[in-house]
Amino acid sequence: MKIASSPPASGTLEGELLNQLAGQSRQIPFAVFAASLMIAAFAWGHVPPVAIVAWLAIVVVVVMLRRRVLERLPRLDRPDERGRLRIAVAVTLANGVAQGLSLFAFPLLPELERSLHTLVLLGLCAGSVATTAGYRPLFVAYLLPTAGALTLAWAVLPSLVGASWLEAAMSGLILMFCLVLLGLARDAWAAFSESFAIRLEQVALNRQLREALDDAEAASRAKTRFLASASHDLRQPLHTLSLFGAALEMRPLDERSHEIARSMNEALQHLSSELDALLDVSKLDAGVVRVTPANIDIGHLLERIAAPYAETIERTAGVSLSVDCQTGLVVRSDRSLLERVLRNLIDNAVKYTEKGSILVEARRRNGAIHVVIADTGVGIPDAEQARIFEEFYQIGNRERDRRKGLGLGLSIVRRLTELLDIEMSLDSAAGRGSRFTLKVAAAEPSQETPVQAVEPEARCMALDVLVIDDEPSIRLGMRTLLEGLGCRVELAASTEDALAAVAERPPDLVLADLRLQDEDDGISAIQAIRLVHPGTPAILVSGDTAPDRLREADAAGIPMLHKPVPVDQLRQAIIQTMEEGAVPGKEHAPGQWGGDVPIARGACAAGR
């Protein structure tokens, strides 16, 4: 017989029984040895010691042989499982015969020892119901040479020692007990079979669940790839439009043309905000969102977020929005992420409240700050309350009204609250409005972290900027915008072009697209330029929102802007990058990036 290297996963009832027999074979010998020693003790003094020792030796050999065989059976390649069960029946029969041999001393024992001997053998038979799982061939193979022989011994005892009718009655009782054990064995086998069938069903269900989970994960990955690809393809032309739109608005125009340019840029900003929601999801999927805790005056933050909404809805919809906060409330959280959560919740309330009021309040309760956004809008049915946090799910927007967004706001809220360890609860009902409550960690009022002020007057810089992008229209748009901001611009479509452009004169700043043609990319281009001109400040500009690409850019440690980039965001990023990454040893004019050259508000003021 050849032994397999590992037990085969047969998935059959016979295979399961063989595994159970193998597992139990390790514990059973101890009980059998103890019972055999008790029988030997009962016979001592009534049976020759040589016979007792010889019987014990037979029991030890048979029990150890049975253990060895049963342990190996599940790992055998052949015979088949039914054949291996026949081997198990044979060694079990040998075990029963070894115990039954003790009955040859039965007539020599006094009545008390004979009764105790009977109890021990019947106890072993009762235990075999469990050890054989009630499998009839196994159980009967042990029962016949033990309890069967015991029944016969009590039946013939009167003729051997002249005993009374009580011995014959005992034989009948033992026979009845054997019949009861056969019934129990049948029930035990039925339970074992049913348990195995349930386990097989559970394994099948687990397999189906794993397959369904794998399919769901694959669909989620495909969705992420699709959204990243679609977002990238949409951001490229949108970025070009934004660049030309910003450059157009900076030029001297008549009032009507200026109004058209402003309206166009507002529409582009609205579309950009929708794409930014997709970007937020991708960043959360990529795990590149970092939490920077700070102490925040929650009242000031809520007032600032709510003010623009309050002016708009009171004028256009007649809905009132009020902020009611206890004074001096300070929370401990990430300022920008918490602002995004609050802005999304207030924005959601505004979208779904056509009449009545919206209340934003903050109160200290039980050592934490409870922020509530409550509205009298359409409300959320109980059946929908779990689904509103799913991506792209919206209530009452079958026509996909773009004014109600993409259905990502609450999904982002849920992810951010988990990231910030903020407890969020929802109380809502259809037709009765909604009430979102955030439980935010409190901080001491005296510990508020100041916010770095931003100068209202926009100042730009006269810099040598190298723009690397494989899209000709984007290169042209970026040149038009940056030259309008007072920069000198060089253009490159690849790393090779970029190295040629900086060979003689190093740039003050590099603006590079993350994904270039073929295998080229902006990170490689920046790293190649820094080998020639160490420490050159650089910014990545990308329309790519795939989680793996976001992680790649994050690992490179290069600041990144996402297309389309508003002119004020681009300007501030340039100023910050130049202030943080000025090249050592390279002279720059005082105030070169934001110091002393004011630019007209229409050119690069915040909000344009």
For the segment 120-149, what is each residue's pLDDT rounded down to a tens digit? 999 999 988 988 888 999 999 999 999 999
pLDDT of residue 350: 85
Are 373 and 349 within 8 A, CB to CB? yes
CB contact set of 139 (below 8 Å; sequence gap of 6+):
128, 129, 132, 181, 182, 185
Give the residue among 71, 75, 34 at the shortest CA–CA distance from 56. 34
Least confident of 166-175, 454-463, 523-532: 454-463
pLDDT of residue 584: 37
Q: How confident is the model at residue 233 (pLDDT cuts 50, 70, 90)?
A: low
CA distances from 251 to 246, 477, 604 (A): 9, 14, 11
Which of 89-98, 302-311, 352-361, 427-436 has the largest mean confidence?
89-98
Give the residue among 202, 198, 152 at the shortest CA–CA distance from 175. 152
CA distance 59 to 95: 7
pLDDT of residue 448: 53
CA distance 286 to 289: 8
Q: What angle do CA 66, 67, 68 make, to 5 degrees?
A: 90
CA distance 141 to 146: 9
CA distance 95 to 69: 12
CA distance 447 to 29: 72
Please compute, for residue 477, the number of CA atoms within 13 A of its CA located in the half-sphere on the CB side: 23
Are 311 and 320 within 8 A, CB to CB? no
Inform me whether the pLDDT recorded for 187 exceeds 90: yes
Beta-bridge mates of residue 337 = none
Q: Regarding predicted confidence, which is higher, 54 or 311?
A: 54
Residue with tokens 């100068």, as numbered in its chain: 455
Task: For residue 428, give the H/E element and its range.
Answer: strand 423-428
Q: How confident is the model at residue 472 (pLDDT cuts 50, 70, 90)?
A: confident
CB contact set of 279 (below 8 Å; sequence gap of 6+):
231, 545, 562
Q: Regarding predicted confidence, which is higher, 226 or 278?
A: 226
DSSP helix/strand/coil, 334: strand
CA distance 409 to 371: 18
Inform me whether the pLDDT recorded for 450 exceeds 80: no
Where do the domains of the chain lie?
13-163, 227-288+458-608, 293-447
DSSP helix/strand/coil, 399: coil
Beta-bridge mates of residue 441 = 368
Task: For residue 596, give the H/E element and its range.
Answer: strand 593-598
Inform me whether the pLDDT recorded for 102 exceeds 80: yes
CA distances from 555 to 521, 532, 552 (A): 14, 22, 5
Supply the mean pLDDT for the chain.
78
CA distance 361 to 373: 7
Q: How confident is the model at residue 453 (pLDDT cuts 50, 70, 90)?
A: very low
CA distance 593 to 173: 107
Structure tokens at 232: 């990238």
Which amino acid is it at 365? R
Q: What is the DSSP letter of 521?
A: B
Q: Regarding predicted confidence, which is higher, 526 or 452?
A: 526
Give the residue among 136, 100, 139, 131 at the shortest CA–CA distance from 118. 100
Give the residue among 79, 102, 226, 84 at the shortest CA–CA distance from 153. 102
CA distances from 183 to 125, 171, 177, 190, 255 (A): 13, 19, 10, 11, 101
The neighbour count for residue 129, using CB atoms within 10 Å, is 21
Q: Could you give the residue ranges of the DSSP H alpha helices within 317-438?
A: 335-351, 409-419
Q: Could you give the residue ranges of the DSSP H alpha helices within 80-164?
A: 81-100, 111-131, 136-143, 149-161
Are 494 and 517 within 8 A, CB to CB? yes
CA distance 88 to 24: 13
Question: Residues 562-585: what's their mean pLDDT?
Answer: 72
Inform me whether the pLDDT recorded for 599 exceeds 60: no
71-75, long-range: CB < 8 A, 24+ apart: 71/22, 71/25, 71/26, 72/3, 72/22, 73/18, 73/21, 73/22, 74/7, 74/8, 74/15, 74/18, 74/19, 74/22, 75/3, 75/4, 75/6, 75/7
Q: Provide, rounded to the nearest whole percent, the portion of the chain with pLDDT above 90.
A: 17
Equal fold, 227-288+458-608 vs 293-447? no
Are 443 and 331 within 8 A, CB to CB? yes
Q: Regarding predicted confidence, which is higher, 268 or 256?
A: 256
Least confident of 174-188, 194-208, 316-330, 359-373: 316-330
Task: For residue 392, give the H/E element and its range.
Answer: none
The tens digit of pLDDT for each residue in 262-316 reads: 777 666 665 665 555 555 555 566 565 677 788 888 888 888 888 877 777 766 6
Least confident of 295-309, 333-347, 349-363, 457-471: 457-471
End-to-end CA distance of the chain: give it in Å, rounded. Answer: 84
Q: Please state which architecture CATH assigns to domain 293-447.
A: 2-Layer Sandwich (3.30)
The tens digit of pLDDT for each residue in 381-393 reads: 776 767 676 655 5
- Distance, C-alpha 99 to centroid of its chain: 57
pLDDT of residue 2: 42
Question: Residues 565-571: what's their mean pLDDT?
Answer: 78
CB contact set of 420 (below 8 Å; sequence gap of 6+):
291, 333, 334, 337, 338, 341
CA distance 2 to 282: 55
Q: Tell me: domain 227-288+458-608, CATH 3.40.50.2300, correct? A: yes
Q: What angle do CA 101, 104, 105 make, to 5 degrees?
A: 115
Are 545 and 278 within 8 A, CB to CB? yes
Are 526 and 517 within 8 A, CB to CB? no
Are 94 and 32 within 8 A, CB to CB? no
Q: Regarding predicted confidence, which is higher, 493 or 249?
A: 493
CB contact set of 377 (below 8 Å; sequence gap of 6+):
349, 352, 353, 354, 356, 433, 434
Inform me whether the pLDDT recorded for 605 exceeds 50: no
3-state DSSP helix/strand/coil % of the chain, to nearest 5: 60, 15, 25
Inform me whether the pLDDT recorded for 511 exceeds 70: yes
Least confident of 130-139, 513-522, 523-532: 513-522
Interior/surface letters 485-495, b for 16+ CB within 10 angstroms, e for the rest? bebebbbbbbb
Query: Do the bridges between strand 509-513 and strand 293-297 make them parallel or antiparallel, or are there none, so unpaired?
Result: unpaired
- Would the pTM count as exceeding 0.75? no
pLDDT of residue 109: 87
Q: How confident is the model at residue 180 (pLDDT cuts 50, 70, 90)?
A: very high
